[in-house]
Amino acid sequence: MSGSLEISRRSFLSVSLVGGAVLSFGAWLALSDEAEAGSSGAMLNAFIRINPDNSVVIGAKNPEIGQGVKTMLPMLIAEELDVDWEQVRIEQTLANEQKYGRQSAGGSRSTPVNWLPMRQAGAAARSMLVMAAATKWGVAFETLTAGSGMVRHAASGRTATYASLTEAAVKIAPPALDAVPLKPDSAFRIIGTSRRGVDTPAIVRGQPLFGIDTELPGMVYAALEACPVFQGTIAAVDDQAAKAVKGVLAVVPINTGLVPKGSFDALAIIADSWWTAQQARSRLKVDWDTGTLTQFSTEAYAEQADTALAQAPEAEILSKGDVEGQLSGAARTVTARYDYPFLGHCTLEPQNCTGLYEDGQLTLWAPSQSPERGRQEVAAMLDLAPDAIKIHMTRIGGGFGRRLMNDYMVQAAQIARAVPGKPVKLIYTRGDDMRHDYYRPGGWHELTAGLDNEGRLVALKDHFVSFGADGEPVRAAELEETEFPAQIVSDVHFGATYLPTNLPTGWLRAPTSNAMGFVFQSFLDELAEAAGVDLPTFVLRILGEDRLLPKVGRANQFNTGRARKVIEEVCTFANWDAKRPSGAGGRGRGFGFYFSHAGYFAEILDATVSEGGTVKVDKIWVAGDIGSHVINPVNALHQVQGAAIEGLAQAMIGQKVDQVDGAIVQENFDSFPLLRIEAAPQDVAVTFVTSPFPPTGLGEPALPPVIPALANAIYAATGKRIRSLPMQLQGQTA
């Protein structure tokens, strides 16, 4: 556990008296200056507030991007606090990691990081309230019970609401969090039950919740004209026509965060309405200094990759055993080349941020997945102290990793400083959003594997070509040495060659796994065919006996037994036939397994391919192991279904971004399509395998297996291997 999540008994309790006795229990709350000086009763933000009417307000500390964390984390607190869910109202906290610990939405980390700490916060608060009742009534602590926001003494029949005990409870020393008793699983009344998302009614009613909905008195608006070629800068500007538009307040040069500090690669047009700003933007005349950056293109990357794959890798990722010796002695070898494109995030809510700068202080309303990182970036760009920046976390209309990058915060902060005292909202157009993303990097793989006489995998080699410099990959272009099945196979070589690019790259939902799952599970299906078995049988052979593999670096440890169980479960769930499907009637069935973000998922997909090459996904079956508890089952179901559908979109409907002369050419959903409802499968059936391990996250690990399952299903239906994304049946070969 990180130091920011540690707490002393002294710092656990904070008191806030609002409209009567109100008890606030603040877990991981940093002491105020007064408290550190020895003063008691500091008024601080808190996770739990018990109101005089015995209702409970619980603070949700992490950004909400649709993954359900705004509901899930308070469920953990409410369970151990022993209140009814109907008593609870949830409020989003401010971004303040000194007070609340880690606040981010990425890596499927919210559940594993907070599973115990949130429960301990609730349990400690309950313990103090029960102790207050024990003291008041002069009875032993052990003779009391709590539930539904009440403390009860069965022997005397006395009861007390939590609200009535607050004044006494605040005088009690809080217990040590690591010693406070937690409920047994059998006593759970909230954890493991389906709870509607707390924002769902407001979303259905169209109430303003998202960053783009932010409205403040006296607000002005900004549109952005950024250099279309990444890393280019402003050479000359004629902004007179733009400034002449009625309602325009200013045209301000800014730094998007992609060029050195002190350089400018964009112009912000500030006006009394966003429409006015956007119209004035079209009147700007800008000369961009792009130097040699126009050399970068999708076509050039493909040519460079072909050249690289014909040579030896320039960097080594993993080398063990005698791969070449094993391959030369193998009963059969299989070689195949796979590739996938750059991808954008294309969130339905385009990037936006609102800022207000006054008296040296900056306030931001930011739909950020990583607000603390954004605070640090803004502070560095504006030369502000981090504590001079206040961040309101708005709900996020889609993130998928895009909003882990905080360029929109940095840009809005610069714009706000240019018009001090006026709140200003920056909004990207759809074209801005697509052409100024942090893209999932493309990649190429040339794989070779050797099988022995029994069809067992004895050697594996991959030359991976992606993007980077000086022998190191750019962000999200990593191939890990633990990539399945490298840890289990004795003779493996992973080498890499990295190509230069000017494109900024970033994490896309299930980062790296969304590409590697397609490559390795599709290739394993080729090996399974060569071995004369189906893919589940082939993978089970590789897994071998149940065991925990050694930990390598920061990667999650792989448990072969947990992998085996989800594979067996999905095969039973979908009534999988171990015979390789014949493809009769253009119908095929495919399988995929993947371990990522500490989750084990196996998926089976049925698809029909028409004579014209149209692919229809009929049904998907999913089995997942995310540990001992599925905290909010209905939300878990939706997360898995959404991940599967998003994976299909990445694979089958032409999603890619193309670069020409250094710039991205896609501008809207006509050239970067989203999966329409009629193309989505009618059924994504989900089952969970529980295991005796702490629960893990769910936002990402269900996505990677669906892409190879689809590719393998198409092969089963048509005899054509899909080795390139997005999938195109024309030109694919068996």
| Alpha-carbon gap, residue 417 to 424, rounded angstroms | 10
| Alpha-carbon gap, residue 594 to 205, rounded angstroms | 38
| Alpha-carbon gap, residue 566 to 546, rounded angstroms | 13
**Angle formed by the axes of helices 513-531 and 706-718, to 10°?**
40
Structure-model confidence comparison of residues 449 and 554, the more confident one: 449
pLDDT in tens, 566-624: 999 999 999 999 876 667 779 999 999 999 999 999 999 999 999 989 999 999 999 99
Is the pTM higher than 0.85? The answer reads: yes
Question: Is there a common fold for 3-185 and 211-291+351-427?
Answer: yes
Cα within 13 Å of Cα(373), Cβ side? 16
pLDDT value at residue 8:
37
Query: What is the CATH architecture assignment of 3-185?
Result: 2-Layer Sandwich (3.30)
Residue 399 has pLDDT above 80, yes or no: yes
pLDDT in tens, 491-534: 999 999 999 999 999 999 999 999 999 999 999 999 999 999 99
> Per CATH, is 299-342+440-718 categorized as 3.30.365.10?
yes
pLDDT in tens, 88-110: 999 999 999 988 999 999 999 99
pLDDT in tens, 155-188: 999 999 999 998 888 888 888 888 899 999 999 9
pLDDT value at residue 27:
35
pLDDT in tens, 438-490: 999 999 999 999 999 999 999 999 999 999 999 999 999 999 999 999 999 99
Query: What is the CATH architecture assignment of 211-291+351-427?
Result: 2-Layer Sandwich (3.30)
Dig out the tokens for 647 from the structure: 């994976």
pLDDT in tens, 206-229: 999 999 999 999 999 999 999 999
pLDDT value at residue 172:
84
Name 442's Cβ contacts closer than 8 Å, sequence gap at least 6. 301, 339, 340, 341, 342, 466, 467
Closest to 576 (Cα-Cα) out of 538, 606, 608, 544: 606
Q: Spell out the domain ranges in the chain.
A: 3-185, 211-291+351-427, 299-342+440-718
| Alpha-carbon gap, residue 174 to 165, rounded angstroms | 15
| Alpha-carbon gap, residue 118 to 106, rounded angstroms | 18
Residue 315 has pLDDT above 80, yes or no: yes
Query: ω into residue 726 within 30 of 0, thus cis?
Result: yes
Pair type for strands 352-358 and 361-366: antiparallel
Average pLDDT taken over every residue of the chain? 92
